[in-house]
Structure 1
Amino acid sequence: MFAPTPRPEIQDLRISRIREVANAGMGRDDILAFWFGEGDQATPGFIRQAASDALLAGRTYYTHNLGRPELREALSRYLAGLHGAPIGADRIAVTSAGVSALMLAAQLVLSPGERTVVVGPIWPNVVEIPKILSGAVEVVPVEAGQGGWRLDMDRLMSALTPGTRALILNSPNNPTGWTLPAEARAAILERCRRYGIWLICDDVYERLTFDRPYAPSFLPLATPEDRVIGVNSFSKAWRMTGWRLGWMACPPALMEGLGVLIEYNTSCAPDFVQEGARVAVEQGEPVVAELRAELAAARDQVVGALRTLPGVEAPMPDGGLYAFFRLEGCRDSLALCKDLIAQVGLGLAPGVAFGPEGEGWLRWCFAARPEKNAAGLERLAAYLGSR
C-alpha cells in the first residue's frame, strides 16, 4: 500500500517561519505585530466604493482570461506615464494576486531541472516557486554596509552562466529594502540577452521608494523581443493586500500561452475586484504619494531608533516597507522572535524566513502609525535592557 504523501519537491518546500511566529502570538490581544508585509490602514474608500458598486451592479461573471480590457488599457497608460516607454495593453495580463503572477511567469519559462538565480535574502515564495516546478535555485546575496545594502555585481555576473534559465530580481527587495541602481540595469540585461536568460522582475515595491517616485525598471530598456517579464501587484502601493490582484507585462510571443495558463490556474480574476483596481490605477496617485511620505517618515523613525540601541545593526533601506536589522550575537532568529513575543509581546519576522542568507536578522514592517511603531520600539528597548 502506498502512503498518501505529496511528491518529494512539495515535501521539501520551506515552511513559512513568519507564519510560525505569527501563530505563536495570535489570539493574544497584547501583541504589537509587525510580522506581515502590510500596513495598518484599510484600502482607500473610493477604491472600495468602486468595487462595491460593481458588485451590487451584478458584475459577478467570468471575465477574459487576461483581464478586463478597461483595466489592461489603464495599466498600459499607467506604465507608459511612469516609465516613459510604451507597453501596449496587448502585452498586459491581470492575475489573481502578484504571487500568482510569479507562479505563472515560472510556469511559462521554467522546465524541470533548469537553474534559476535569485538575489536574496528574499521573500520565500520567490525561491520556492522554481522548486515546485522541480527546478534548481542559486541565491546571490546582497551585503550589508554602512551606507545600506549593496549587490556584488561581479558575483551576480559569475552566477549568470549559459546554463542559467532565469534570473529573478525583486527591487526594492523584501526584506532588505535594497534597490537595484539604475546604472546596473544595462549590464544585467546584456548578460541575459547573451545567454538567453529570462529576466523576471518582481516590481511589487517599485513605487515605495524614498528618494524618487519609482524604482529603476527594466521595462523601458527592454524591447518586445527581450526575455523580460515584469510582475507587479496592487497590494502594496494602493493598500490592497487582501484584494489579491496583480498583473504581468510580457513579450507579445508569450501572451497566447499565458492566457491558457491562467485558464488552467484560476480562469480569471473577479470582475468587481478589477473595477476597484481600475479606479485605483486611474485615480490613486495621491494615495501612492501619501503612502510614500508616510513610509519615509516611518523608516526614519524606526531605523533611526534602532541605530541608537546597543548591539543593533540597522542598514538604511532604499525602498519598501521594512527595516531589516540584527542583534549582536543572534544566531537563531526564529527562537529570538518567539522570545520577543513571550517576553514583551513584540511580533517581528525572523530573518531565517528569507533563507539562510537572512539568519541572524529580523524584519520589522514599519508600515504602521507612528504611535504603534514607537510602542514597538519601547518594547524592543525594554527587551534588550533585560538581557
Structure 2
Amino acid sequence: MRQVVEQLEASRIREVANEGLGRADVLKFWFGESDEVTPGFIRDTAVASLQAGETFYTHNLGLQELREALAAYTDKLHPGRGAGHWFDRLAVSSGGVNGLMLASQALVEAGDEVIVVSPAWPNLVAQPLILGAKVKTVPLRVQADGPRAGAWVLDMDALLAAITPSTRLLVVNAPNNPTGWTLSAAEQRTILAHCRRTGTWILADEVYERLYFADDTPNGAAPSFLDVAEPDDRVIVAHSFSKSFLMTGWRLGWLVLPPALTAAIGKLIEYNTSCAPVFVQRAATVALQRGDEVTPALVAHLRHCRDTLVPLLRALPGVTLAEPLGGMYAFFRLAGQDDCLAVAKRLVREAGLGLAPGSAFSPEATGWLRWCFASRDTDRLVQGVERLRHWLAAQPPAAS
C-alpha cells in the first residue's frame, strides 16, 4: 500500500457516529445532510427511467438533456452570457466529491504545491495528498469581539502571501463547511487577480452556493467565481445536487470548466467511472427544471432552522458562536471543553446528542463543534439544545 494512503486519517465524524450505532435515542446532527427525503417528483423520474430500461452507458460528460438544463440553470444564476456559453464548459460527475477529485487529477502532479483555505471538509485536503501533492493550509481567523464574535474570516494578506508562482492549485470552499464563512465578490476578484499573476489554478467548491442567507445578491445565491472569472481563466467550480436539491444519496455533481479542459475531464471520467447512471441524470434533469419547487422553500426552511438554533445556543453559558451566512451548520466553541473529539463522543454517550468535532476539519478548529441544522422538525433542534444545556450543567466547575 502507498504510504500516503496508509497515513490518511480516518473520518473523525464517522468515529463519533460509531459511538451511537444502534441507539435510536440519539439526536443525530453530525452528518452534512438534511433529514428530508428527496422530493417525490424527482424519485418518480428515476423510477420511470429504470422502468423504461435506461440501464446502459451514456456520454462521459453527461446526458445532453442534463447538460442543457445545467447550462440554463447556470445562466439563470450568473446571467449575461446565455446558456450556450456554458454548455461546452460542463462535465457531469458521480457526486460533487468525484468532481473535485477529477479536477485535482487533471491539475495536480506529485510534488506540486496545493494550498487549501481551512477549516475545510477533510476531502479537500486528502484528495491532493493522495495524488502526492504537498498541501499547505491557510487558516481563517476567528473574530474575538464585536457583533460577529466567533465568526471565521479570511486573512487576505496571509492568503496572498502564501500563493506564489510555485503554487499549482488553490482550493477554497465558500460558503464554507464547517464555519459558514463566505467570500465576497471583492475578495474573489482580489484572489483571482493574484492567481492570474502567479499562474495558480483555483478550484472553487461552491456546493453551498444556494444555501445563502444574506440579502446582498440579486439572485439570492452566494458570490461565485463564475461571476468574476473570464472563460479561459484558470478556474474550476465544483457543484453538487446533494444540498440544494436534497439529493445527497444520489451521488451526482458537475464541474464548470475552461472550455479547453472539458475534453480532458471527459477522458478522466472514462477512466474513473465511465459515466454517471442514466436514471440519476434523468432525476437531476427534472430537479433542475422544477427547482423552484424545491430550493427556495428549502433555503427558507434552513434560515428558520438557523434562526431557531443559533439564539438558543448563544444563550448557553460559555458558547462562542456567530450566525452563519451560508451553509447548513452552526459552528461553535464551548469554553473549557478543548478536546472536541472527546466531548463529541461524551455527548453521544451521556446526552444522546450527535455533533461533529471541529478537529475533523483542521487543527485550528480543535475545540469547536459543528451542528448540522438541516432538520425537518425544528423541535429536534430545541430538544438538542436542552440536552446540551443539561449536560453542561452536570459538568464539574473548571479548576481555578
Question: What's the counterpart of residue 73 of structure 1?
Answer: 68
Question: What's the counterpart of residue 121 of structure 1?
Answer: 119
**CA distance in structure 2 between the aligned counterparts of 1:306 and 1:182, rounded to whole angstroms:** 30
1:314 paired to 2:360: no
Q: Secondary structure at the match of 1:357?
A: helix
Pairwise CA distance, 1:228? 0.5
Pairwise CA distance, 1:64? 0.3
> Which among 135, 138, 145 is matched to residue 137 of structure 1?
135
Q: Percent identity?
A: 54
> Which among 79, 82, 98 is matched to residue 77 of structure 2?
82
Contact 1:143 1:150 in 2 (8 A): yes
Contact 2:74 2:86 in 1 (8 A): no
Contact 1:143 1:149 in 2 (8 A): yes
- Any idea what the Cα deviations from partners look like across 1:138-162, whole Å, max 9, x if unmatched? 1111122241321111111111111
> Which among 33, 37, 40 is matched to residue 32 of structure 2?
37
Q: Which amino acid aligns with 1:217?
A: S
Q: Which amino acid aligns with 1:82?
A: L
Alignment of 1:92-111 (within 5 A): 92-111=90-109
Pairwise CA distance, 1:46? 0.9
Pairwise CA distance, 1:220? 2.3
Q: Which amino acid aligns with 1:311?
A: G
1:385 paired to 2:380: no
Q: Secondary structure at the match of 1:377?
A: helix
Count of residues in correspondence between the two structures: 382
Pairwise CA distance, 1:231? 0.4
**CA distance in structure 2 between the aligned counterparts of 1:313 and 1:78, rounded to whole angstroms:** 38
Q: Which amino acid aligns with 1:166?
A: L
Question: What's the counterpart of residue 254 of structure 2?
Answer: 247
Q: Secondary structure at the match of 1:88?
A: helix
> Which among 161, 171, 174 is matched to residue 171 of structure 1?
174
- Any idea what the Cα deviations from partners look like across 1:283-302, whole Å, max 9, x if unmatched? 11231101111111111111
- Any idea what the Cα deviations from partners look like across 1:248-287, whole Å, max 9, x if unmatched? 0101111111111000000000001000000001111231
**RMSD of equivalent CA atoms:** 0.9
Pairwise CA distance, 1:85? 4.3
Q: Which amino acid aligns with 1:364?
A: W
- Any idea what the Cα deviations from partners look like across 1:199-252, whole Å, max 9, x if unmatched? 001010000001241010111221221100010000000000000000001011
User: What 5-or-longer segments of structure 2 have no aligned partner?
Assistant: 396-400
1:153 paired to 2:151: no
Q: Secondary structure at the match of 1:81?
A: helix
Q: Which moved more, 1:142-151 or 1:358-367?
A: 142-151
Question: What's the counterpart of residue 9 of structure 1?
Answer: 4
TM-score (ref. length: structure 1):
0.97
1:220 paired to 2:227: yes
TM-score (ref. length: structure 2):
0.94
Question: What's the counterpart of residue 211 of structure 1?
Answer: 214
Contact 2:93 2:99 in 1 (8 A): yes
Q: Secondary structure at the match of 1:219?
A: helix
User: What 5-or-longer segments of structure 1 have no aligned partner?
Assistant: 1-5
1:301 paired to 2:308: yes
1:202 paired to 2:210: no
Q: Which amino acid aligns with 1:202?
A: D
- Any idea what the Cα deviations from partners look like across 1:170-222, whole Å, max 9, x if unmatched? 01000000000121111110111111100001010000001241010111221
Q: Which moved more, 1:170-179 or 1:217-226?
A: 217-226
Question: What's the counterpart of residue 3 of structure 1?
Answer: none
Contact 1:85 1:220 in 2 (8 A): no
